[in-house]
Amino acid sequence: MMPPSNLRTMKVEAPEPDIWVVSFNRPEVRNALNTPTHHDLREIFGPLAFTPGDLRCIVLTGAGDKAFCAGGDLKERDGMTDEAWRLQHAIIEEGIYSIINCSVPVIAAVNGAAFGGGCEVALCCDFIYASTTAAFGQPEVTRGIMPGAGGTQNLPRSVGERRAKELILSGGSFTAQQAYDWGMVNLVCEPRELMPKALETARAIAANAPIAVRQAKKAIHQGLQTDLTSGLLIEVQAYERMISTEDRLEGVRAFNEKRKPQFKGR
């Protein structure tokens, strides 16, 4: 699948045919989120809900060495009317939700500050790797607003209700190590190791059967929104999708022939 070419504030690279590295590309403003950024997010991730093609994994990061994403661009928002603010937020919702609904696994590689909307974007990804220089926070209440791009839902699901209330209601920041200790971040490493580690995991994911990976992601995500009995039904329905695939036959055949399977995504 070819990356979109009409992006204004983001960059998409394909270091390998089945892996994308997507970067917030406004380092001069610490990769702050403006309206064109959310248009770009929608352009990149929107089609991937149902038509991922041969894409198997995405790493999402920020350009430069200071910030993953410093949050919403408050200079752009200064003086906005209520109506303009609501219209912009609708675009934000479309961009953010397209990450959540992406059928392809998305790894956040947080290389610096991830505040406000930047923290929310990271939480929308499937899991997070962070450098030791990363810092997180949801400071919206200190600006007269509140998290509105998934923060009040995704943060409690990552760190627990009471911890999330403390962080969101105080507006304070927290370190990568704290995020790791609380279960929000999967790995903390030195800055130079961040992208190699993220790409190493991306390659491991990309080497697996893509239909199986996408269905497993779907089962986990949807199952956690419901009770156990319904979740088990979702899992079985997702499992059924694999039975008639060529990849299922290839996986069993490769195991018995003691070789590495060659999955085709069909």
* Active-site annotation holder among 28, 76, 120, 257: 120
SS3 helix, strand, coil % of the chain, rounded to 5? 50, 15, 30
Confidence of residue 154 (pLDDT cuts 50, 70, 90): very high
Question: Average pLDDT in the 41-61 region?
Answer: 94
What residue type is 139 in one-letter code? P
Establish whether 193 is a catalytic residue. no
Point out the least confidently predicted range of 49-58, 63-72, 208-217: 63-72
Question: Average pLDDT in the 224-233 region?
Answer: 94
Q: What's the distance, CA 90 to chain centroid? A: 19
Whole-model pTM: value is 0.92
* Active-site annotation holder among 43, 140, 193, 235: 140
Confidence of residue 6 (pLDDT cuts 50, 70, 90): confident
For residues 218 and 6, the model is more confident at: 218
Question: Average pLDDT in the 77-104 region?
Answer: 88
> Read out DSSP for 124-188?
HSSEEEEETT-EEE--GGGGT----SSHHHHHHHHH-HHHHHHHHHH--EEEHHHHHHTTS-SEE
Q: What is the mean pLDDT of the chain?
A: 93
186, pLDDT greater than 90: yes
For 123, the enclosing helix (H) or strand (E) is helix 117-124
Question: Average pLDDT in the 28-55 region?
Answer: 92
Structure confidence at residue 228 (pLDDT): 95
Structure confidence at residue 161 (pLDDT): 96
Domains of the chain: 10-206 (3.90.226.10), 210-256 (1.10.12.10)
For residues 245 and 71, the model is more confident at: 245
163, pLDDT greater than 80: yes
Establish whether 250 is a catalytic residue. no
Distances (CA, A) of 8 to 12, 30, 134, 236, 251: 11, 16, 25, 41, 41
What residue type is 135 in one-letter code? A
For the chain, give the percent of residues with pLDDT over 70. 100
